[in-house]
Structure 1
C-alpha cells in the first residue's frame, strides 16, 4: 500500500477498494468534528466516497499513511502542485518564507515532510552558527562574594553567618526558554519524520544543543510556548535571527493553519489550509507591494445601516491617503466565462461599492495554469456608475511577477498607480 494518498481540492477518494481504510475514515471524521468541515461523505453507485472541500494540505493518519490534498492545479504527482501551495503560504505570510527554495521543498514526499525538512534545515544552520546565549539573573548562596551582595537578604536570612553570602549573579548561558522550545520541537521532528535525511539533521541539532535542558509536557503546551515566543522574539536582538525557525515549528506544532487539530491519536501534524483564506491573504500581501502609497484592509467591518445593526465585511479594501479607493472580493474558484460568475457575488460586491461610495469594485479569481477568459468588467444598469471588474490573476509556482502585473493593471483601472520596481 502506498504511504501517501493524494487527492485534489474538490476531488474524492473511495472508502475501501484501495482508497481510505475504515480506520482512516474514522480518524478523519474525528478531525472534522473538532475542526472545519473539510470533507463530506457521499454514496455513488453503491460505493462510499469522501469529497474534499476548499482545503489543501496534509494529514498524518493512523497506520503510517499521509493524506495529501493538493490545490486544483496540475497533476496529482506533479511536485509543482505542492510547490504552489508552499509558495502561496509564504506569500500570504501564513507559513514561513521559503520562496527561494519552494521547488526544492516541493519535491518532498508530502507537504508535512516539506515543512519538517525546512525546519530541520533552519535549525541545523542556526546551531552551526552557535547557540544564542542570554543572561539569567540568579540569587545564590556562596562561600565567596561573586556578583552583587544582597545585604538586605543577608541580614534577614543569615545575619550571623560569615561563611555564606547571598549574592546576585548574571549567569550567561544557552539554556534559555527559546532554545529549550527549539530543542523540544526538533526532537519531535526526529521522531515523526519518515525521511532519513531529515531525521539525521534533527538528531544532529539535538546533539549540538546538549547544553540546553530538555522540555517535557504535551505538544500542545509546546505549541502554545512557541506562539508566545514568536510574539516577543522581534524585540530580543539576541534571538531575533531564530524567528523563522520558531515560525515553522509553531506552524507544525500549534496548528496555526486554519485547520483541524491533529489530536492525541495523530502520529504527526495536521496541516490543512482554507484555500479561499490563503488566496485572500496572498492578494492582500501582493497588493501592498504592488500599489504605490496604498494600504489594504482585510475583513474590516463597515456599517450597512445607519444604526449600525448590520455590518459588511468585504474581503479587501484598498485605501489611498486613508480613503477607500477599490473594494475586492477574492474567489478561489475556476471561471471560464460570465456563466461561471455567481449572481450573488455580483450583488454582494455591488453593495460594498455603494456603501463605501466607490465606482470600482472587483471579483478576483485565480487564473490557474495560465488559462482563463479574457478580462472584462460589468457596468451596473443604474445611475450609480459602478463598474465591477471580473478580474483573473495568474497564480503559478514560478513566482509572483505575473500576479503583481495583473494586480497592477487592476489598480490602474481604479486610478491607482503601481509601485515602481
Structure 2
C-alpha cells in the first residue's frame, strides 16, 4: 500500500529515474540513492517528478512519526513554497482546499491559471513591434537602402518598415508557453477546463521559443506591476525557479526542491516576520572563515541565520530538517543529534560570537520532540539551545525563554 514512506514504480519509470540520476551526478548533484537495484531513496528532495511513461512521483515532507496524511503534507509543502518564494497564493474557497488531494503540480497549475484569469481581467499589455516587409503600397517608412537593391522584376514592390501594436512581447510569450504546458499536463478536470477557456484569449500570441532570454527581458516598471504575481508562477511551471531541471527530449512538469534549504529559508522568513523593531535578521552571511593559511582564509563559515541588534549581542541560528528523537519512545542515543552539527555550531560560536553568547539549533517540531531540550554548554559563556519549530503555527516552541532578543526591552 503506497504511503509517504514507500511507493511502487513501474520498471520503465525506475530505469528512467536511474538514468536521470546518472546525469545529475555528472554535475555533482545526488538526486537519489540506489539500493540493490530494487530500491530508490529520495530523502533530500521534495516535489514532483514526471516520467515519460506517465508516472508521476510525488515526494512530500514528513516530520511526524505517526502521521501519514498526504493532504496534510502537501498543504504544508505548498505553504512553505508560498512563503519561501513569495508566491501570491489565491484562495478561492472549498474548491481550492480539495486540490490538496491532488498532486502538487495540480495546485501549482491551479494557482497559475487563477493568476492568469486575474491578469486578463486587468488587461494584457501590448507593445510596438518593428516589421520589415515588402508590399505593393507605402506604409510607414521606406527602406531606401533595401529599395535600391530591388531586382528589376521587383521594382514595383516597396521595402518598408513600420510598427505594429501587438501583444507579442516577452511577458505574454512566456505566459502563453506556460499555459500550453498546463493545458497538456493538467489531469484535474477543473484545471483542464479553465486552461482551455483561457487559451482562447491568448490565441494570437506565439509561445516563447527562448524562455531564458524572455525572462531576462521581462519588464518590471510601474505599467507592468500587475504582471508581477504571474511571473513567479510562470517560473515554476517552466522550470526557471527549480534547483534541478530536466534536460533532453522529455519536458514533463517536474519540480524538485532541496528540503534542507527549503526549511532553512522558511524558518528565516517566519522569524523575520516576528522580529521587533531594531533587530536585523541576515541569511547567507559568510564573513568569517575557519582558519587562515599563508595569509589566505580557508573554509568559509555560513550560518543559516544571524540576528543582530544595537542593544543585544548577536545570536546565531541554524536550521536542520531532521526528525529529532527527543525524549519520546523513538529516543536514540544523544536524542538523535549529530556530532558534526555540534562542531559546526561550535565554530560559528567562536567566529561570529567570539566564544560568548547564544547559539540556536532548530529542528521541526514532532510528536516526540514537542519542546526545547535543556541547554548545552560549550563553556561558561557559550550556550546552545535545541528548539523545535512548529510548522503549523510558524513559531519556535519556548522561544521567549530561549530567545530573549525577540522580546522588546521594556
Which interval holds the TM-score relative to the shorter structure? Answer: 0.7 to 0.9
2:255 corresponds in structure 1 to 271
**Shift in Å, 1:281:** 0.6
Residue aligning to 1:387: 383
In structure 1, what is the equivalent of residue 40 of structure 2? 50
Q: What residue is the counterpart of 2:330 in the other structure?
A: none
> Corresponding residue for 1:228?
216
Out of 237, 242, 260, the position equivalent to 1:252 is: 237
1:140 Cα deviation after fit: 8.5
Relative distance call for 1:299 and 1:89 in structure 2 (3 A) is same
- Quote the residue 1:399 is aligned against: none
CA spacing shift, 1:121–1:365, aligned 2, 3 Å: same
Aligned-residue offset at 1:416: 4.0
SS at match of 2:379: coil
* Paired position in structure 1 for 2:371: 374
Is the 8 Å Cα contact of residues 174 and 208 (structure 2) preserved in structure 1? no
Offset at residue 335 of structure 1 (A): 1.4
Instruction: Compute the displacement of 1:138 (Å).
Output: 6.2
- Greater Cα shift, 192-201 or 320-329: 320-329
Deviates more, 1:20-29 or 1:69-78: 69-78
Where in structure 2 are the equivalents of 1:13-412 lying within 5 Å?
13=7, 19-35=8-24, 36-43=29-36, 48-73=38-63, 75-93=67-85, 96-98=87-89, 100=91, 104=97, 106-136=99-129, 171-212=164-205, 214-215=206-207, 217=209, 221-222=210-211, 224-225=212-213, 227-229=215-217, 232-233=218-219, 235-254=220-239, 256-259=241-244, 261-266=245-250, 268-292=252-276, 293-301=278-286, 302-306=288-292, 307=295, 308-321=297-310, 325-337=314-326, 338-357=334-353, 358-368=356-366, 372-383=369-380, 385-396=381-392, 402-404=393-395, 406=397, 409=400
Please say if residues 40 and 50 of structure 1, whose CA atoms lie closer than 8 Å, have aligned partners that are also in contact.
Answer: yes
CA distance in 2: counterparts of 1:99 and 1:200, whole angstroms:
18
Shift of 1:6: 5.5
Give, in angstroms, the shift of residue 207 of structure 1.
Answer: 0.8
**Separation (CA, whole Å) in 1 of partners of 2:408 and 2:273:** 9
Partner of 2:194, secondary structure, is: helix
TM-superposed CA distance for 1:279, in Å, is: 0.3
Figure out how many residues of one structure are paired with residues of the other and give that number.
381
Shift of 1:311: 1.8
CA separation in 2, counterparts of 1:253 and 1:324? Answer: 44
> What CA distance in whole angstroms lies between the structure 2 residues aligned with 1:258 and 1:335?
26
Gaps of 5+ in 2: 149-154, 327-333
Contact persistence 1:56–1:272 (CA under 8 A): yes
**Is the deviation greater in 137-146 or in 374-383?**
137-146
What are the Cα deviations for residues 199-240 of structure 1, in whole angstroms up to 9, with x where unaligned? Answer: 22112222111332x2364xxx33x245425xx44x322322
Distance in 1 between the 2:145 and 2:213 partners?
39
- Shift in Å, 1:268: 1.5
Instruction: Tell me the TM-score normalised to structure 1 length.
Output: 0.78
- Using the alignment, how far apart are the partners of 2:242 and 2:98 within structure 1? 18
Task: Kindly state the Cα deviation for residue 63 of structure 1 after the two structures are TM-superposed.
Answer: 2.2
Matched, 1:415 2:405: yes
Q: What is the CA-CA distance between 1:347 and the residue it aligns to? A: 2.1
